[in-house]
Amino acid sequence: MVDRILDAAARLLDVSGYDGVSTHRIAAEAGVSPGSIYQYFPNKDAIVAATVERMIERIAAQLAEAFDTVTGTGGADPVRRIVTAVLDATERNRELVRVLVEQMPRLGGSAEIRTIEQRATDLASGYLAGVTNGIPMRRPAMVWLAVQALEQITIRYVLDEPAIDREEFVAELSRLITTFTTLSVVPR
Amino acid sequence: MVDRILDAAARLLDVSGYDGVSTHRIAAEAGVSPGSIYQYFPNKDAIVAATVERMIERIAAQLAEAFDTVTGTGGADPVRRIVTAVLDATERNRELVRVLVEQMPRLGGSAEIRTIEQRATDLASGYLAGVTNGIPMRRPAMVWLAVQALEQITIRYVLDEPAIDREEFVAELSRLITTFTTLSVVPR
Amino acid sequence: MVDRILDAAARLLDVSGYDGVSTHRIAAEAGVSPGSIYQYFPNKDAIVAATVERMIERIAAQLAEAFDTVTGTGGADPVRRIVTAVLDATERNRELVRVLVEQMPRLGGSAEIRTIEQRATDLASGYLAGVTNGIPMRRPAMVWLAVQALEQITIRYVLDEPAIDREEFVAELSRLITTFTTLSVVPR
Amino acid sequence: MVDRILDAAARLLDVSGYDGVSTHRIAAEAGVSPGSIYQYFPNKDAIVAATVERMIERIAAQLAEAFDTVTGTGGADPVRRIVTAVLDATERNRELVRVLVEQMPRLGGSAEIRTIEQRATDLASGYLAGVTNGIPMRRPAMVWLAVQALEQITIRYVLDEPAIDREEFVAELSRLITTFTTLSVVPR
DNA sequence: GATGAATGAGTTTTCATTCAT
DNA sequence: GATGAATGAAAACTCATTCAT
């Protein structure tokens, strides 16, 4: 039942945004009576919050798995593989991501999305530490920018669909991150 | 009259977000009767859209001015000066930017924000063309990524307030863009 | 409009009691849309409060008039005339009184009904002072009991309709008050 | 089971008034499932009615006992002792009395409260008959007024808490009843 | 043009009652 | 008998929109 409600809420959130979600519509979409909702959620916001949480959990799980695969396996060009993993996860959850990005702020804070970012930051720190003899520990600003670049640019690429070839996008974003984090770069 | 309405709407949008805006509150804030609003706008969404359009116009104007100054004057490290200009404009319009980023998607599309991006992209292309012998014309992907990095990371920095020194932020973001767009790295 | 709403509320309060009053029913009874009500009252309780206030005002006015007549005109047996006035007013407003007595407590205090009692108490004090050389000033308990007896017993008589002749009721209640307040009985 | 439900309802009625009572809260308070209630009561009103009935029974029992004691024992000033007994019972059941007086009418009629009054009337008649050579039999109006005065004034005293000393209240109310029922009283 | 009273569909939430288990 | 999940009508209240003045 909780699942039916959350599924319905997710569908509505996806199709019509936060304002398209009303308790009656959720109930109708879930094939449930309005009253029933309140046996599982104290109010509307709790439904939306739970829906979003579930969305994030799913994306986070996919990302974590992808990261594990990347970091577990050695291999050439790990940055490119991370970029690919993030792009994969974002594309696979295109609509979820859109809803999260567009409707999220209205839910006031949402500690959850910070969790994802924290995990990504930690991961990047660890990775960079391995590559650069611990330098990132002393350069949190660099790590923060790298993570933001990875996340935000990927999200914009997936949501805005610029006329850029996927292959090329991956190559360029990888290069961006690599050149930025490889500290030996010599400006022209 | 249109101006009074749009000013009122902007103030409310700024202070209370999209949900805090009602036609009655706009009318009250503007010192106008609710009915009068409908002599100038077909419905509430049109008011908000017009308000947002005006906000964007203002930011765009500020940016354009800053860009002109930067490109007009020669000088060392033009990238850093562009980053500073963008950061300035974003910080000066912090609340407007927040509203735009957070409430924008709900207005469905908004060709306006694309306008800013296009102008920024053009500008960057032009700038890079000057620096690199016309290479950007053949590398739109690179330009797009650079512009996105500049915009999105600055927005996140201003809105999320990470514990990063302003000076350091400017330095790192400038370095990110410089290393990325400086083609000492061999293109694919 | 306010009057139409209050009239409708009064009718519903009378017929169905506090629980029979809903904003929709008031609106329907008044031939008005639910939304209109909220242009004149901030919430349902305010409507009921205003309705009750108006009821009390009416009864108070009738009583005051009756009292004036009684006290203005000299004549035999003023107590009996006061009792008659109170009984008249109560009978004429039978349904209003029923509503007030039965639904009042739920409105939380209601300074208004205290007002009536205060006026009655003042009046009684004044009257007794005239009759007994100012003794009542030193016997507020006696005045309070006399007023309560007059009010409560009359209310019960009108609402419960015991099998007692009206003439006899007036005679007995007058005797009760007279014997009680006539200080031939030696005070403690 | 019925008892558990009625106890729970009584507690809720006492603490939160009629509106604070819901079938779910009764069920929860009674440690019973909402469905079970309907095996013993046809609907919510029946529960409240039964609860009130039981309350009244208890107060009636206490009163009857007090009356028995008073009438059984001879002694000086029996009226004062009856007044004291009624005041005691009312004070001891203050909250029950408040609920009964304030919430009662909403239950529509309630033959029960009449029962108490009838018993009180009978008792008073009997007492007065003993004191006055059977006169009350021919003066039911007087008996009714005396009983009403005793009941209503005591209830108002307990519920409204006027600034009157308990001792003085008992003295005055006793005097009121005594002077009223003692038919030899000579008006000044 | 300007007004603002009036509208009524829509919102979230509650709760007495039912019924399959 | 007992359960408690499910129901759905109804509650109070909001607000974009209209229209007579």
Distance (Å) from CA C24 to C1' F11? 9
**pLDDT tier at D164 (50, 70, 90 boundaries)?**
very high
CA distance B154 to chain A (A): 10
Q: Is the domain of C150 the same as that of C124?
A: yes
Angle at A164 between CA A162 and CA A166, to 5 degrees: 115
Task: Say which residue the tokens 């945004």 belong to.
Answer: A17
Question: Of the candidates C19, C153, C169, which has its C-beta nearest D152's C-beta?
Answer: C153
Structural domain count, chain C = 2
Dihedral of alpha carbons A159, A165, A166, A168, sign: negative
**D117 and D34 within one domain:** no
> What is the percentage of chain D residues whose pLDDT exceeds 70?
79
Structure tokens at C150: 């007059």
- Would you state the pLDDT for residue C24? 95
Residue D185 pLDDT > 50: no
Q: Are C175 and C146 in contact (CB under 8 A)?
A: no
How far, in Å, is the CA of C108 from the C1' of nucleotide F2?
40
| Nearest to B158, CA basis, from B105, B104, B87, B74 | B87
The answer to whether residues C175 and C100 belong to one domain is yes
How many angstroms separate the CA of B111 from the C1' of F19?
35
Range A134-142 contact pairs with CB under 8 angstroms and sequence separation of 24 or more: A135/A183, A140/B163, A140/B164, A141/B164, A141/B165, A141/B168, A141/B169, A141/B172, A142/A180, A142/A181, A142/B172
Q: Given CB atoms, is A38 within the 8 Å cutoff of chain B? A: no
Residues of chain A positioned with their CB less than 8 A from the CB of B102: 105-106
Q: Compute the CA torsion angle D162, D164, D165, D170 (nearest 10 deg).
A: -90
Biggest distance spanned by C-alpha atoms of chain B = 64
User: Is there an interface between A and D (3+ Cβ pairs < 8 A)?
Assistant: no
Total residues belonging to chain C: 188
Pair (D62, D147) in one structural domain:
yes
Distance B6 CA to F13 C1' (A): 28
Interatomic CA distance for residues B108 and A173, integer angstroms: 28
Contact D149, D78 (CB under 8 A): no
Q: Would you say residue A47 lies in a domain?
A: no
Instruction: Establish if D48 belongs to a structural domain.
Output: no
Contact C176 D141 (CB under 8 A): no
How far A101 CA sits from the closest chain B CA (Å)? Answer: 8
The protein footprint on chain E, as nucleotides within 7 A of a CB, is 1-20
Chain B environment of A171 (Cβ under 8 Å): 188
pLDDT score of B122 more than 50: yes
- Contact between the CB of C21 and strand F at under 7 Å: yes
Residues of chain A with pLDDT under 70: 71-75, 103-116, 128-137, 183-188
Using a pLDDT cut of 90, give the percent of chain D over it.
Answer: 31
| Most A-contacting residue of B176, B181, B188 (CB-CB within 10 A), to test interface | B176
Q: What is the pLDDT of residue C187?
A: 42
The pLDDT score that the predictor gives to residue C110 is 53
pLDDT of residue B106: 54
**CB of B38 within 7 Å of some strand F atom:** yes
In a domain, D63, yes or no: yes
Q: Taking the C1' atom of E10, which residue's CA lies nearest? A: A22
List CB contacts (< 8 A) between C184 and chain D.
186-188
User: Domain check: are D156 and D120 in the same one?
Assistant: yes
Is D176–C172 a contact, with Cβ atoms under 8 angstroms apart? no
Asked whether the predicted pLDDT for residue D188 surpasses 60, the reply is: no
Residue C50 lies in a domain: no
* The pLDDT of residue C55: 85
C60 and C148 together in one domain: yes
Q: What is the pLDDT of residue C25?
A: 95
**Do both A12 and A64 map to the same domain?**
no
One domain, residues B93 and B162: yes
Distances from the Cα of B88 to the Cαs of A3, B11, B47, B163, in angstroms? 46, 21, 28, 18
With an 8 Å Cβ cutoff, are A106 and B19 in contact?
A: yes
Tokens of D40: 């013993």
Whether A32 CB is under 7 Å from strand F: yes
**Residue D46 maps to a domain:** no
Whether any strand F atom is under 7 angstroms from the Cβ of D33: the reply reads yes
CATH for D103: 1.10.357
Q: Which of residues 140-159 of C touch D (CB under 8 A)?
A: 140-142, 144-145, 148-149, 152-153, 156-157
Measured CA to CA, the distance from residue A86 to residue A97 in angstroms comes to: 12
D22, HSE (Cβ side, Cα atoms, 13 Å): 4
Nucleotide nearest to C37 (CA to C1'): E6
Same domain (yes/no): B157, B79: yes
Closest by CA to C10, choosing from C65, C42, C41, C56, is C56
Cα distance between residue B152 and residue C123, in whole Å: 79
Question: A169 in a domain, yes or no?
Answer: yes
Q: Is the CB of C178 under 7 A from strand F?
A: no
Please indicate whether, in this complex, the C-beta atoms of C140 and D168 are within 8 angstroms of each other: no
Chain mean pLDDT for chain D:
82
In terms of CA atoms, which chain B residue is nearest residue A20? B106
Nearest CA in chain C to D149: C149
pLDDT for the residue D171: 94
Burial (CB count <10 Å: 0-12, 13-18, 19+), residue D7: middle
Same domain? For A87 and A22 the reply is: no
Cα distance from A50 to chain B (closest Cα, Å)? 20
Distance CA B173, CA D122 (A): 97
Which CATH number do you get for residue C28? 1.10.10.60
Backbone angles phi, psi at C183, to 5 degrees: -85, 25
Listing DSSP states for B106-167 in one string gives GG---HHHHHHHHHHHHHHHHHHHHHHTTGGGG-HHHHHHHHHHHHHHHHHHHHH--S--HH
D171 touches chain C (CB under 8 A): yes
Q: Which has the higher per-residue pLDDT, C70 or B100?
A: B100
Q: Whose C1' is closest to the CA of A40: which nucleotide? A: F5
Residue A55: per-residue pLDDT? 85
| Token pair listed for C118 | 């205060």
Size of interface C-D (CB pairs under 8 A): 84
Residue A87 sits in the same domain as residue A146: yes
* pLDDT mean over D75-98: 85
Does position B3 have pLDDT exceeding 70, yes or no? yes
Confidence of residue B186 (pLDDT cuts 50, 70, 90): very low
Is residue B93 assigned to a domain? yes
Angle at C29 between CA C28 and CA C31, to 5 degrees: 60
Q: Where does B34-82 show beta strands of DSSP type E?
A: none
Q: What pLDDT shows up at residue B56?
A: 81
* pLDDT tens, per residue, chain C with 188 residues: 899 999 999 999 888 877 889 999 999 999 999 999 999 999 998 998 889 888 888 888 888 787 777 766 666 777 888 889 889 989 988 888 888 877 665 555 455 566 667 777 777 677 666 666 566 667 889 988 998 999 899 999 998 888 999 999 999 999 999 889 875 444 44
Is any atom of nucleic acid chain F found less than 7 Å from the CB of residue B23? yes
D47 within domain boundaries:
no
Is the Cβ of B167 closer than 8 Å to some Cβ of chain A? Answer: no
User: Is the same domain home to D150 and D64?
Assistant: yes
Q: What CA dihedral angle connects C70, C75, C77 and C79, to 10 degrees?
A: 20
Distance, in Å, from the CA atom of D8 to the CA atom of D136, rounded to the nearest integer, reads: 43
- Domain carrying residue D171: 56-181
